[in-house]
Amino acid sequence: MKPRIMRYAIVYVSTASNNLKDEEIQNILSSSNTWNNKNDITGLLLFSEGNFFQIIEGEKKTITELFETIQEDDRHHNIMQIFGKDIHKDAYDGYVSDCVSDQSDYEPEKFQHYLNHIKVLDKTAQKAVENILKVFLPI
């Protein structure tokens, strides 16, 4: 039997640096998407009203190392970790990055789409993320 790799999820919110341009935000979203999908990391990265919300889920070592890199990134600050948890389910559906800052662009159906991306988390964690998303998204 194939040994199961220990998977881990980290969820945090942070504040974007004051002088961060739209272009730089798009750059963070798209390069994270590319790297994460190549490295079997699932989750969600959202930007709204000057804040980031991120879930990274994957092989434990990869996730803890990536989070160290992210914490050192000076394009954001006030990084508040909500949780770090072992994951016992199989990976879900790849990585999603989205900029939801512009209220006129926001489609409520996206909420369900985001929730589908956190199904790897246990029920309590899913509920916590769902509550944060309700505050975070411009609904």
Residue numbers at the binding site for ligand FMN (CB under 6 A)? 14, 28, 32, 35-36, 45, 52, 54, 56, 66, 69-70, 73, 75-76
Nearer to ligand FMN (CB atom), residue 56 or residue 120? 56
Residue 25 Cβ vs ligand FMN, minimum distance, rounded to whole Å: 9
**Cα dihedral 67/72/76/78 (nearest 10):** 80
| Contacts of 85 by beta carbon, 8 Å cutoff, 6+ apart | 8, 9, 121, 122, 125
Count how many residues are written for the chain.
139
Residue 73 Cβ vs ligand FMN, minimum distance, rounded to whole Å: 3
Nearer to ligand FMN (CB atom), residue 77 or residue 127? 77
Nearer to ligand FMN (CB atom), residue 32 or residue 48? 32
Residue listed under structure tokens 């341009």? 21
